[in-house]
Amino acid sequence: MKIVMKWLGRITSVALYGILLCIIILVVYSKIQGGTPQILGHQILTVLSGSMEPGIKTGSLIAVKPVTQVDSLKKGDVITFKSLDNPNVLITHRIVKVEKADSQINYITKGDNNDGNDTKPIPSSNVVAKYSGFTIPYIGYLFDFFHTKTGKIVLLIIPGILLLGYSLIKMWKIIASIDDDQGKQTLEKPKSV
């Protein structure tokens, strides 16, 4: 039983250190890049509206693959593009029609949950990525919170507190076992006559 507890302690310790290290790397990497985090070549985005429901729920985390050849996109593909009104806002909608005029390609898009098409065609130069089909519902709310200043502080503090608490418990157990060993040695010493 002691061996099992010892190994569980080691696994917990390694897991906490690993989580803290991953979080620090993710926060620093996001700050250096100045954009969205990437995992295995996919950007991780948060969906903040219900325009693509029921396939992509509001508050979902989605993975999108950056597009290098916009001419390969076709009707039915779900793309992420820069808003025509604000290039800092990304929108993820489905292509319902591809229009080609001279060397310019425009996409008519629509949210699956919207009644009509988006008001203006999206130029191919605004297309950022293609949805890869990977989504985790509702985790995006948490992910979005972690991109705020408060969220980043919480993200670093909580694993740190857990690690500190775990270390204090571990030290307390070690001190208690040393005290027990000293108590046993005192009881076992023969009395001199």
Convert the pLDDT of each residue in 76-113 to its tens digit: 999 999 998 888 888 999 999 999 887 888 999 999 99
**Cα–Cα distance, 10 to 6 (Å, whole number):** 6
Q: What mean pLDDT, rounded, does the chain reach?
A: 81
Q: Which of 2-6, 125-129, 168-172 has the highest mean pLDDT?
A: 125-129
pLDDT, tens digit, for every residue of 134-179? 888 887 787 778 778 888 777 778 777 877 887 888 888 888 888 7
Active site residue 49: yes
> Does residue 120 or residue 193 have the better pLDDT?
120
CATH value of 37-137 in 1.10.3720.10, 2.10.109.10, 3.40.50.1970, 1.10.230.10: 2.10.109.10
As a whole-number percent, the residues of the chain with pLDDT over 90 amount to: 14
Long-range contacts at 133-139 (CB < 8 A, ≥ 24 apart) = 134/42, 134/62, 134/63, 135/47, 135/56, 135/57, 135/60, 135/61, 135/62, 135/63, 136/60, 136/61, 137/57, 137/59, 137/60, 138/57, 138/59, 138/60, 139/59, 139/60, 139/61
The pLDDT of residue 27 is: 63
**Cα–Cα distance, 16 to 25 (Å, whole number):** 14
From the list 13, 49, 125, 167, the catalytic residue is 49
Confidence of residue 188 (pLDDT cuts 50, 70, 90): low
The pLDDT of residue 36 is: 64
Mean pLDDT of 174-187: 71
Confidence of residue 29 (pLDDT cuts 50, 70, 90): low
Mean pLDDT of 60-85: 88
Contact 114, 98 (CB under 8 A): no
